[in-house]
Structure 1
Amino acid sequence: MRKKSFLVLIILTFVLEGVIAGILLYRSRDIEQDTVAINDCIKVIEENFGQNDKYLTTRNYSLIDTDGKLLYKNAHDISTSVNEAVKNNDTILDVKQGDKVVGKVLFHNDTQERIGKYQKAIAVTILVISAVQAVIIIAYVIYLKKTIVKPFDELSGFAERVAGGNLDIPLPMDKKHTFGAFTEAFDIMRDEIKKSRAAEKAANDAKKEMVAKLSHDIKTPVASIKSASEFGYELAKEEKVKERFNLINFKADELTVLVDNLFQSSVHEATEITVSPRENDSSSVREAILHADYLKRAGDFTIPECKVFTDKLRLQQAFDNVFINSYKYADTEIKVDAKLEGEYLKVSIRDFGPGVTDEEVAVLKEKYKRGKNSEGKDGAGIGLYLASYFLKEMD
């Protein structure tokens, strides 16, 4: 609509310019001396010769006698002699009294002046209309910049952001400009891509989390099988039986390595592990500790009766990692204490190994970080990181 309005305005200004110029040019053709007015002046002069106050002033002229003496003139800068009149192409007419010529009237030729006025009027008209056209064009350029250039630049920037993976910044929408409908469609596309990527990420994380959960859950029974096979190996007397127990132990080690690799790969790739705490009895804490302590190093302990806000699965995995680390690095008896402190149930798990320095305690809670005493021990520095992460998410 605005484009049509602009074209109409431009066309109208050109038409107006042409019409005005045509009128002025047409009028400029009619600039010859007005013979009727000249004849009227001559007639009045002849009738009132010598009475200057009765002469007409409709034309600029001067009156001289037959000797060239100036008798009258009604304007400045006009011819006062025949020679000057001839040079200026003035109209020269005789004044008679009867049949006798008593003087001459020199009518001023103002043709050039009138032509100049018309030319000036034409120039001013063209200049004014051109200025109006310039204003209209500038206004339209600004309009185009606002409705086409700027939105196009925004679309280009939006495309670059989407190509770079930035899907969080929406595209400003304005249905008034040319790309209004397109910007809305592009922003809907951005939103759908964002949702699609979020769904894809959630699905991948869920898959990786499931693999991590399964691999971790397999580790505990495998460790129990390994422990039982080692115990059976020590008790067996027949060589064939010992070989069977040794094979079970060897295969358990292989399975442990495979499960560890699968677990580490899944945890490394997963960007988020879901923790969903809910209200449970404190007896669930005791069960988790008993299940984690498959070597029965903790002995007897009690847990005060209360309600706890935990995710059973994640709490079990946290205790599993703590006990596995104790078995691996301390290999001593384990002491478990539990007591109520305000609104919290505090559980302390302690072994009697060499321990770690205060500086290492914070580091061990980071992903892929291990203590100085980990040389020669299998592991990837994931266990305590996950235990700390799960407990923080349940707080």
Structure 2
Amino acid sequence: MKLRYLIIYILIFILLGTVICIRIARGDGAGVNQAKTTEINRLLISIEEDWDRVSAKDAELTETVDSLDYSVIDSDSKVLEFTRDDISTTVSAATTHYDIIRDVEVDGEIVGKLIIHNPSGEQQQARNKHYALLAAMMFAVILAMLVIYSFYIERRVISPFARLKKFATRIASGDLDSPLEMDKGHVFGEFTEAFDIMREELKSSREREEAAVRSRKELVAELSHDIKTPVASIKAMADVMSLTATDDDQRKVIASINGKADQIDNLISNLFHATLEELEQLEVNVEDLSSVDLVQMINEADYLNRVTEIDIKEVFIVGDRLRLNQIVTNIISNSYKYAGTDIKAISHIENDNVMALERNDNSQDEMGNIAKNSRKFLVVEFSDKGGGVPESELELITQKFKRGSNAEGKDGSGLGLYISNYLMNKMGGSLACRNNGEGLTVSLRIQM
């Protein structure tokens, strides 16, 4: 509310209060001040001149004279006439009611009393009613102003503030698309436009940040892809040199070059696939495969010949050949790097029973028949004897950029198991890690 409106309301309240106080303080007078002396004297003279007729009356009700209510009594206090039943007819009653008492004289002798009714009681009662009505009107005006002011506060202050609060909550939750309703008529009107400009700037900033992050990820993906080409050339040249080597020292150096190139290739592949996963471009094309393909993948990944036992059940599985090969390569490479021991690759078949309730509509007792939809999985376990990892770290090593405490001082990025777990989930399977007492076991659940 503007200041001038508040000042006007205060002045109105002060004016109304002043008027009431003045009316109460002044009053309307009482007693003789209210009666007209001339009219009283005229009435008294009239009664004195007509005393013979008046004295002959006996408590007779007569008409009011000059708007004056009165009663006449003789010297023996006998009521001769009166104008109203509720007025004083004795000197004592007149004294109690502050009525005007005049002597009636005939030939110099007091023959009776004229009692003029004092209307101050009725006038006071009328004044009280008037003041009560005025106070009620003032209260009604104040109440109406309070209601109007409350409505004004609700519409111009509380509701806009509630909208600002909801807007701030939406901004905090990340909703930068919903604009703030603008209304410059309320007390927050000047801030509304500024708040919405802030929202637009935050939205623009977030879009710029997302674009920059995506650009960086795309750059990493492009660089990873570009780096793989010279690495492949190095591996090819190392393979050629190994064929032409003439002694064991040369073959040892060439094998070392080939191994380092493989490490670089694995790191680049992990970084490349992690970037594609963040860009939601890591594709998985599922097809029917034979588990015999897994044996081939294991043999190709085991270039150090550390897999001493391979027992893979011959079944048909569902998966992506390229991604399964990548997963197997990651697992064996991790075992080389962190365990350095023999590896066993064994498998077994698990059933995943899903209970389904089929409704039998023809049954009177509405009982259902339970059917079992069974899915089968080929579980392939890769176990080494490298001591494993602490139990508290088993769930962490499948997360992005997380490595076990046994990886300290060894090359790696913490992406291999993360990408493998991601790819297994995309193919409808899963990956799990556990300690086997001697080392670490990585289990692949591949849907059949």
Separation (CA, whole Å) in 1 of partners of 2:127 and 2:256: 119
Structure 1 contact 41–55 (Cα < 8 Å) conserved: no
In the alignment, which of 102, 109, 113 is matched to residue 104 of structure 1?
113
Post-superposition CA distance 1:186-239 (Å, at most 9, x none): 121022112101211210121012102321343355345424533542454455
State the identity %.
33
Q: 1:361 to 1:237 in 2, by over 3 A?
A: closer
Equivalent position of 2:431 in the other structure: none
In the other structure, the counterpart of 1:15 is 15
Aligned partners of 2:184, 2:161: CA distance in 1, in Å? Answer: 14
Whichever structure has more strand as a proportion of its residues is: 2
Using structure 1 for the length normalisation, give the TM-score.
0.65
* 1:138 to 1:23, Cα distance in 2 relative to 1, 3 A: same
- Hey, what does 1:255 align to over in structure 2? 264
In 1, distance between residues paired with 2:284 and 2:231?
17
- Paired residue for 2:5? 5
Match of 1:38 in 2: 40
Decide whether the 8 Å contact of 1:173 with 1:184 is kept in 2: yes
CA deviation after TM superposition for structure 1 residue 162, in Å? 3.1
Deviations 1:50-84 (A, max 9, x none): 36867615111111122222111111211112232
Task: Tell me the equivalent position of 1:167.
Answer: 176
1:242 to 251, 255, 263: 251
Q: List gaps (5 residues or longer) in structure 2.
A: 55-60, 286-291, 299-313, 332-377, 384-415, 428-448
Match of 2:153 in 1: 144
User: AA paired with 2:17?
Assistant: E
Structure 1: gaps spanning 5 or more residues: 274-313, 320-325, 333-353, 389-395
Contact kept, 8 Å, 1:215 with 1:263, in 2: the verdict is: yes
Q: 1:102 to 1:184 in 2, by over 3 A?
A: same
Higher deviation after alignment, 154-163 or 202-211? 154-163
Partner Cα separation in structure 2 for residue 318 and residue 76 of structure 1: 114
Quick one: distance in 1 between partners of 2:422 and 2:237? 23
- Is the alpha carbon distance of 1:236 and 1:186 closer, same or farther for their aligned partners in structure 2, counting shifts above 3 Å? same
After superposition, the C-alpha distances for 1:96-130 in whole angstroms (9 at most, x for unaligned) are 33434332111122223322322332232123212
Question: Cα 1:137–1:151, aligned 2, differ >3 Å: closer, same or farther?
Answer: same
Q: Distance in 1 between matches of 2:69 and 2:143?
A: 42
> What displacement does 1:161 show?
3.9
More off after superposition, 213-222 vs 56-65: 213-222
What residue is the counterpart of 1:229 in the other structure?
Answer: 238
Instruction: Within 5 Å, give how 1:182-193 maps onto structure 2.
Output: 182-193=191-202
**Judging changes above 3 Å, is the alpha-carbon distance between structure 1 residues 54 and 223 closer, same or farther for their aligned structure 2 residues?**
closer
Distance 1:235 1:167 in 2: 65
- Distance verdict in 2 for CA 1:55–1:225, change over 3 Å: closer
Q: Among residues 311, 314, 317, which one is paired with 1:357 in the alignment?
A: 317
Count of equivalent residues = 316
Matched, 1:121 2:81: no
The letter for the 1-side match of 2:5 is S
**C-alpha separation in 1, matches of 2:166 and 2:142:** 34
RMSD of equivalent CA atoms: 4.1
> C-alpha distance in 1, partners of 2:222/2:161?
49
Say if 2:63 and 2:83, in contact at 8 Å, map to a contact too.
no
Displacement after TM superposition at 1:159 (Å): 3.3
Paired residue type of 1:174:
D
Is residue 6–residue 140 contact of structure 1 (8 Å, CA) maintained in 2?
A: no
